[in-house]
């Protein structure tokens, strides 16, 4: 299958053009030649992930955290050089989808987590720079639960205002911890990495089902 | 002693006007009346710290993390309301010093940590938006150690370039963890709160010594 | 009646979310406890207004000019401290609506002034950063009159281009006075305060009628 | 005398390159031919001033308020067209100096006002975007007086903090009036135009004395 | 015919309000009196064009490149003075339309060029800051041709991605030349001036047809 | 010789830290291993230059125009991919110096051109965003000549104001051509590429002399 076709499917499935993201979503490293026989999936576009994807004989690595953010890469040095060199040496393309993979109802982190937790009456919530990425739902005891994967602890005060009994995210830095305490919001931290495996795995599941392409998940 | 005199001493000692900080350093909450009989010190200007400072009969609370950042406080609601109400009800002034209390050679977090660790040949390093806030020194085995308190893990790649064998900071978020791994930088995390008690305590020690005013440290 | 219900009515009536305002509209100071028995209305969220509202036994003060603009309040000191302290001491919440209270057809300053003047064929005019806030209409002699309350004299040249015979606003600074002279636009200054009592009073009238809550106007 | 020589004298005397001003100081409208026989001075570069300067047979008009501010003139239409056309028809050059003519110790508005009031121990004060433009001094009764000409009422709270008994400026808009009231600062308004005639006249006096060129003051 | 009517026709025909342009489109220099008997058209609002338009007895000059860009004109000096003086002396108004005159399907540069080249299945392409200004079509041999008049060579890499066999623009600077080489995009340069005569002439043709006003094209 | 030593010499010689440049100067692509036996020099960091440098057995390519500008590279795709892949495949590091290589008195484009032309009384001129990069001097007939290599035609009006008889640069786009005409400035265009070979060759000459390292110039 061609890289162009897979990228087009990813862009459409994740509705990439609807998000205003600090991640430069889409293809971040090209490759030579168009034919893709296996697609690897990982949370991070790290040196370790790229090496494992090459070893797994993949031609494309799809990640939640890529290597190009904001204005872009000032230089291909240090860690960026290590990742780029490993990808180019292995002729591996890198595709990143950040907020779209948090927010997607079909296969985003937060809807997936809500499904795993068996939440009911789930609705979208938590607006990050114009992009509503998280969810709110009710557990079996009727408690209102806010969910926003990864490093989203800055939403804890908003969860409080929305009347949540609990707010689930991946990690919180010290300032966010204090801010949640100041408003008395109970916050559960599931790990930045762990809470963001859900979207990546769901996206892999959908690609396999719809494109019938070989896929492999690269764990940490 | 007057509040004005104490604030003037703090501004001079910490060289507040030399820093371009995202924290709005200085007095962040005023009080009625000028007389200060006891000064409380804490890492955070949290609801808990303010309440304990009032209970300890302090008229001024000096913190590393205040309540006003960047453009300022859009509204006095939620956690901000809780902190401001507790301070005004207790007639407690709040003074914040962020980067100046990281960087000060006399009583900043990083020089204090270097002294506790017995580092030698200590020099300034790690430039944060024009402010050099951390230090580099050598331990008893001659290993090069970078130190930057709090949430400074984004300096890990720079520590690598500077040839450090180890980089000590408070906490690292997931992206910073991956970035450090990608360049192979060994990073030691001492806790955001813990690494930033050093400067606050040193500042209290100096104030006691120089101004002979009653002081109390508010632990978490 | 709960504060939440009143705030929700204000937000809907004034269409707060349709305005891109330099004022941080909405609740600017919270209070403890939700029950509101009386609502005070004033043009300015000044120390004097807050004190009078507390004396009048109000739990909420609704104003045209609040205390939080642009990025927000850098510090709660000086005049901001005086206002915030008076509000917190009196357990009074503060709600501000700036451009929405200029523009509202139902109860905004400019439509109210047009009604008082008996203008006919009134239409919206004068675009302030994407928000059309003023009006244009015709008086009994068929003269075209532009109206924009408060400090809107910078619209005088636009009023000239639109063919107005007279432009009514509250106050003009020196540069605006010269600019109006340079294009030969007749400008009538009704006072910043005076022209903005119309909206506040109309909003009070509507709230009384629709929510049947106790209200009081705080004059200067 | 050549226009270049006069402009050079103005730039040096007013230290134009030391100011970061929202006014685009210097020559704002050129003229054809270099010879200048008479220089007119006015507070405003208005249509009226330009016409009077041409009638007075001047080749250059020096003003405190020019026609180009910030990014510049988007179009030469309306009042800008009227001023530019009058200047070009009369072959009159326009030179503007805004903050430099507030701040100059030799001939700025504020030092001149301080001299007229007989203030003693006069020092610079009131920092406007990095430019210290006003003064503080003591009157014959020992009262501390802040002075900042024109529309500088937003400095009233700073004057309060500096311990002034009175703050003199030209005009105050409504928000500035309330802000001064909130901190209890007595403010005296001498008129925007009137307080800014002092610098223009002093500059004319110095030019006459040093360059021996014909000068005329254009009053309003 | 009145200037207002012609300007209104230009604004509507070119859909001026749909473009976010670095050129300050619309009337850039006004004139005295409203009656327009002849309209001149030129690519550039240069001194030469203005002089020729005045000689041709025009009251309005319509150009693709005006004199006011971005924030506007800081001063009316140098070349700007020369153009403005010539226009005011000749009582000639200047109207500029930049991106709207590249993009217009009815009379823009790029659709006109496509018509001259006989391209088929022409569609819009090449997004400049939110404005789609160029076209793509197929020539008689079925080759895909991208067209973007003037200085649009920075679109060459995008033309490559879109699968163009050839990209036609006016001029390319050195960096753009290298960028096109790096992706192997064949680029044809027709001259900045030459490729932008098409839109100006087409606009003149339409104005003549619809408004029945006297028109003249000012060539370089 | 180590890459670190050469980079350090380049940074010092060109005074890299004194320039505020839109080019991200310094190492833009790293390499594996530190040993450098040959250094290639070219005007452009193009695909062609990189390939020729690898063929010439260089480990480092020093250029005037690199691949990272402004915020950086959003993605390593298209032409950027081609250049990066060629460099990584050939294990070639890329170093860029833009404005510093225009401005250097020792080996910058403009001082070199002045020396080739035999200009006398040469001084610095032409301020680009705070960096003075060009020169002005006098030829054998006493004519005043401004020089600014590459795409610096926007300085032509400033050259006019400075009294130049001729202004030499590399290339001019259409708008710059018109602007120079409007002020009557004679402009000589020597080619963007050609005028910028001077600095690159001079830098190579100095490196050979001072570091005694093998060097090669890569012509276009």
* Sequential pLDDT tens for chain F (220 residues): 999 999 999 999 999 999 999 999 999 999 999 999 999 999 999 999 999 999 999 999 999 999 999 999 999 999 999 999 999 999 999 999 999 999 999 999 999 999 999 999 999 999 998 999 999 999 999 999 999 999 999 999 999 999 999 999 999 999 999 999 999 999 999 999 999 999 999 999 999 999 999 999 999 8
Q: Helix (H) and strand (E) counts for chain B?
A: 9, 10
* pLDDT bucket at E165, cuts 50 / 70 / 90: very high
User: In angstroms, what separates the C-alpha of F57 from chain E's closest C-alpha?
Assistant: 21
Whether residue A151 lies within 8 A of chain B, CB to CB, comes out as: yes
User: In angstroms, what separates the C-alpha of A186 from chain B's closest C-alpha?
Assistant: 14
User: In angstroms, what separates the C-alpha of D167 from chain C's closest C-alpha?
Assistant: 16
* Ramachandran angles phi, psi of F209, nearest 5°: -65, -45
Q: d(Cα B171, Cα E79) in Å, to the nearest integer? A: 58
The kind and range of the H/E element at C141 are: none
Mutate to test the interface with D, among E45, E75, E77 (most CBs of D within 10 A): E75
Residue B142, token pair as written in the block: 């001659």
Picking from F27, F74, F85, the nearest residue to A72 by CB comes out as: F74
Q: Give me the pLDDT at residue A30, please.
A: 98
Cβ pair F78:E183 closer than 8 A: yes
Whether residue C17 lies within 8 A of chain D, CB to CB, comes out as: no
Mutate to test the interface with E, among D3, D60, D72 (most CBs of E within 10 A): D72
Whether residue A35 lies within 8 A of chain B, CB to CB, comes out as: no
Q: Give me the pLDDT at residue B150, please.
A: 97
User: In angstroms, what separates the C-alpha of E212 from chain F's closest C-alpha?
Assistant: 31
Cβ pair E150:F174 closer than 8 A: yes
Q: What is the mean pLDDT of chain B?
A: 98
When comparing pLDDT for F130 and E189, which is higher? E189
Q: Give me the pLDDT at residue F185, please.
A: 97
Q: CA Rg, chain C, in Å?
A: 18
User: In angstroms, what separates the C-alpha of F111 from chain A's closest C-alpha?
Assistant: 29
> For C122-140, what is each residue's pLDDT tens digit?
999 999 989 999 999 999 9
Whether residue B64 lies within 8 A of chain A, CB to CB, comes out as: no
Q: d(Cα B150, Cα B153) in Å, to the nearest integer? A: 8
Q: Give me the pLDDT at residue D165, please.
A: 98
Residue A27 with chain F: CB contacts under 8 Å: 75, 77
Picking from B44, B78, B150, the nearest residue to A178 by CB comes out as: B44
* pLDDT bucket at E200, cuts 50 / 70 / 90: very high
> For C7-30, what is each residue's pLDDT tens digit?
999 999 999 999 999 999 999 999
3-state secondary structure C97-130: CCHHHHHCCCCCHHHHHHHHHCCEEEEEEEEECC
Whether residue B192 lies within 8 A of chain A, CB to CB, comes out as: yes
Q: Say which residues have a Cβ less than 8 Å from residue C5's Cβ, sequence separation at least 6.
A: C211
Cβ pair F174:E182 closer than 8 A: no
User: What DSSP character marks residue A93?
Assistant: E
Whether residue F116 lies within 8 A of chain A, CB to CB, comes out as: no
- Residue in D with minimal Cα distance to C184: D79
Cβ pair A76:F84 closer than 8 A: yes
- Residue in F with minimal Cα distance to E67: F179
* pLDDT bucket at C105, cuts 50 / 70 / 90: very high
Q: Give me the pLDDT at residue E78, please.
A: 97
Picking from C78, C160, C178, the nearest residue to D157 by CB comes out as: C78
The percent of residues in chain E predicted with pLDDT above 90, rounded, is 99
User: What DSSP character marks residue E17?
Assistant: G
Neighbors of chain D with 3 or more C-beta pairs under 8 Å? C, E
Q: Give me the pLDDT at residue B24, please.
A: 98
Flag whether D touches C (3+ CB pairs, 8 A cutoff).
yes
Residue A32 with chain F: CB contacts under 8 Å: 85
Q: Give me the pLDDT at residue B107, please.
A: 96
> For B153-183, what is each residue's pLDDT tens digit?
999 999 999 999 999 999 999 999 999 999 9
User: In angstroms, what separates the C-alpha of F209 from chain E's closest C-alpha?
Assistant: 31
* Average pLDDT, integer, range E149-170: 97
**DSSP letters spanning E123-143:** EEEEEETTEEEEEEEE-TT--
Whether residue C76 lies within 8 A of chain D, CB to CB, comes out as: no
> For A105-153, what is each residue's pLDDT tens digit?
999 999 999 999 999 999 999 999 999 999 999 999 999 999 999 999 9
Residue E82 with chain F: CB contacts under 8 Å: 182-183
Q: Give me the pLDDT at residue D219, please.
A: 97
* pLDDT bucket at B54, cuts 50 / 70 / 90: very high
- Residue in F with minimal Cα distance to E51: F182
* Average pLDDT, integer, range A9-27: 97
- Helix A197-211 vs helix A3-14: crossing angle, to nearest 10: 120
User: In angstroms, what separates the C-alpha of C192 from chain D's closest C-alpha?
Assistant: 6
Q: Give me the pLDDT at residue F75, please.
A: 98
CB atoms within 10 A of CB B27: 23
Q: d(Cα C9, Cα C32) in Å, to the nearest integer? A: 20
* Average pLDDT, integer, range E8-23: 97
Picking from D79, D150, D193, the nearest residue to C179 by CB comes out as: D79
* pLDDT bucket at B133, cuts 50 / 70 / 90: very high
Reduced to 3 states (helix: H, G, I; strand: E, B; else coil), residue E203 is helix
Whether residue D11 lies within 8 A of chain E, CB to CB, comes out as: no
Full pLDDT tens readout for chain D, 220 residues: 999 999 999 999 999 999 999 999 999 999 999 999 999 999 999 999 999 999 999 999 999 999 999 999 999 999 999 999 999 999 999 999 999 999 999 999 999 999 999 999 999 999 999 999 999 999 999 999 999 999 999 999 999 999 999 999 999 999 999 999 999 999 999 999 999 999 999 999 999 999 999 999 999 9
User: In angstroms, what separates the C-alpha of E174 from chain F's closest C-alpha?
Assistant: 6
Cβ pair F78:A26 closer than 8 A: no
Residue B171 with chain A: CB contacts under 8 Å: 173-174
Q: CA Rg, chain B, in Å?
A: 18
Half-sphere exposure of D11 (CA within 13 A, CB side): 11
Q: d(Cα E23, Cα E45) in Å, to the nearest integer? A: 12
Cβ pair E72:D72 closer than 8 A: yes
Q: Give me the pLDDT at residue F188, please.
A: 98
Residue F170 with chain E: CB contacts under 8 Å: 174
Cβ pair F182:E151 closer than 8 A: no
CA–CA distance from E150 to each of C198, E154, F145, F174 (Å)? 54, 11, 30, 8
Q: Give me the pLDDT at residue B14, please.
A: 98
Q: Give me the pLDDT at residue E105, please.
A: 97
Mutate to test the interface with E, among F47, F79, F81, F173 (most CBs of E within 10 A): F79
Mutate to test the interface with D, among C79, C98, C189 (most CBs of D within 10 A): C79
* pLDDT bucket at C66, cuts 50 / 70 / 90: very high
* Average pLDDT, integer, range A209-213: 97
The kind and range of the H/E element at C64 are: strand C60-65
Residue F141, token pair as written in the block: 């007939």
Q: d(Cα F59, Cα C3) in Å, to the nearest integer? A: 71
Neighbors of chain E with 3 or more C-beta pairs under 8 Å? D, F
Cβ pair C68:B74 closer than 8 A: yes
User: In angstroms, what separates the C-alpha of F164 from chain A's closest C-alpha?
Assistant: 38
Q: d(Cα E75, Cα D20) in Å, to the nearest integer? A: 17
The kind and range of the H/E element at F40 are: strand F38-44
Q: d(Cα D79, Cα C183) in Å, to the nearest integer? A: 5
Whether residue C72 lies within 8 A of chain D, CB to CB, comes out as: no
- Residue in C with minimal Cα distance to B89: C89
Q: Give me the pLDDT at residue A219, please.
A: 96
> For E53-110, what is each residue's pLDDT tens digit?
999 999 999 999 999 999 999 999 999 999 999 999 999 999 999 999 999 999 999 9
Whether residue A118 lies within 8 A of chain B, CB to CB, comes out as: no
Q: Give me the pLDDT at residue D47, please.
A: 98
Whether residue B189 lies within 8 A of chain A, CB to CB, comes out as: no
Cβ pair B29:C77 closer than 8 A: yes
- Residue in D with minimal Cα distance to E66: D75
**DSSP letters spanning E46-58:** -HHHHHHHHHTT-
User: In angstroms, what separates the C-alpha of B78 from chain A's closest C-alpha?
Assistant: 6
Residue D47 with chain C: CB contacts under 8 Å: 181-182
**From edge to edge, which strands make up the β-sheet containing D131-138?**
D120-128, D131-138, D144-147, D166-169, D187-189
Look up the pTM and report it. 0.95
**DSSP letters spanning B53-116:** HHHTT-SEEEEEE-S-BTT-BS-B-HHHHHHHHHHHHTT-EEEE-SHHHHH-TTT-HHHHHHHH
Whether residue D66 lies within 8 A of chain C, CB to CB, comes out as: no
User: In angstroms, what separates the C-alpha of B210 from chain A's closest C-alpha?
Assistant: 31
């Amino acid at each position: 299958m061609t890289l162009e076709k897979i990228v087009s499917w990813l862009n459409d499935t994740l509705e990439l053009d609807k998000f205003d993201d600090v991640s430069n979503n889409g293809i971040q490293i090209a490759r030579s030649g168009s034919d893709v026989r296996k697609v690897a999936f990982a949370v991070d576009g790290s040196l370790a992930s790229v090496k494992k994807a090459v070893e797994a004989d993949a031609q494309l690595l799809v990640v939640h955290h890529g290597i190009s953010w904001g204005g872009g890469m000032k230089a291909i040095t240090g860690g960026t050089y290590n990742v780029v060199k490993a990808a180019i040496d292995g002729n591996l393309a890198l595709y990143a989808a950040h907020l779209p993979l948090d927010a997607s109802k079909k296969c985003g982190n937060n809807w997936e987590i809500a499904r795993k937790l068996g939440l009911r009456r789930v609705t979208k919530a938590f607006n990050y720079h114009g992009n509503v990425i998280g969810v709110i739902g009710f557990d079996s005891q009727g408690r209102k639960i806010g969910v926003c994967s990864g490093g989203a602890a800055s939403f804890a005060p908003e969860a409080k205002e929305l009347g949540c009994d609990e707010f689930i995210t991946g990690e919180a830095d010290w300032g966010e911890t204090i801010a949640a305490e100041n408003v008395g919001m109970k916050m559960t931290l599931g790990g930045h990495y762990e809470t963001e495996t859900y979207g990546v795995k769901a996206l892999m599941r959908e690609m396999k089902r719809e494109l019938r392409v070989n896929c492999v998940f690269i764990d940490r």
